[in-house]
Amino acid sequence: MPPSHSRSVAAARERRAALPPSPPEFIDVTHLVFICGHAGTGKTTLAKQLIGPLMRATGQAFCLLDKDTLYGVYSAAAIGALTGDPNDRDSPLFLQHFRDPEYRGLFDTAAENLRLGIGVIAVGPLSREVRERKLFDHAWLGVPRDVNISVVWVSTEEETARERIAARGNPNDAYKLAHWDEYRQRRFVPTGDARDGLLMFDNTAPASADYDALLARIVQTPQPPGMMLPPMPV
């Protein structure tokens, strides 16, 4: 083989090696991820840790919808006008008349984004909906049928949750702390049929590998061979 030809082949190989790697091939699936669990389990913190890696792993835009951010100010004004206590989030009055409309607004806002092809991470306790298996029901949620739904149940030890609630000093938690024996009766860990399909995440003292495993389970659609999921921040 002539020396000039060998040099040309070597030069071509060098040019190919210098090219940037091809972008990953993403599966065109829109994701709805519910981050559920009782107060003090770290739901919002986990959601904020997930959203960046999820966007990189799926190649899609995501928005974060936290029920407290969406409705906290409004509900404080409304319940305050009724009872004089704007921080009430746990009394029978609030639970009977405010809880469900807040969640319906959360679901409707999620559906609006999903129809635009924007993935959603939705944050809220949602304990009743988890027990009743409603979060896997596309029709009940009002979301497109081709949306991939993941439901993450975040838990901690009860004492850890109580310590976190007390430490964050949120006035909305005053009723919980003052009526802890009553509130703790609403705490539960899904079991049996209620647990089927849930992604259980113990947020008491998670390691980096726990975050990575959760991300991999959410991105459950088939990926091209060799595709690496980005690590989660800790």
pLDDT 10s digits, 53-109: 999 999 999 999 999 999 999 999 999 999 998 988 878 888 899 999 999 999 999
Cα dist from 166 to 52, 155, 160, 204, whole Å:
29, 17, 10, 16
Give the pLDDT confidence score for residue 225 in this predicted structure.
39
**Within a domain: 7:** no
Domain annotation covers residue 195: yes
Total domains, the chain: 1
Instruction: Please report whether residue 10 resides in a domain.
Output: no
Q: Classify residue 59: in a domain, yes or no.
A: yes
Please tell me the pTM assigned to this model.
Answer: 0.79
Residue 20 domain-assigned (yes or no): no
State the CATH number of the domain containing residue 158.
3.40.50.300
Residues 24-60: tens digit of each pLDDT: 555 578 999 999 998 889 999 999 999 999 999 999 9
Q: Any residues with CB less than 8 A from the CB of 88 and at least 6 apart, and which?
A: 79, 80, 94, 175
Averaged over 18-27, what is the pLDDT?
51
Could you list the residue range(s) of the whole structural domain that residue 104 is in? 29-218
The pLDDT value given to residue 206: 92
Tokens of 157: 């030890």
CA-closest candidate to residue 198, choices 138, 146, 145, 155:
155
Residue 187 located in a structural domain: yes
Does residue 228 lie in a domain region?
Answer: no
With respect to residue 94, please indicate whether it lies within any of the assigned structural domains.
Answer: yes
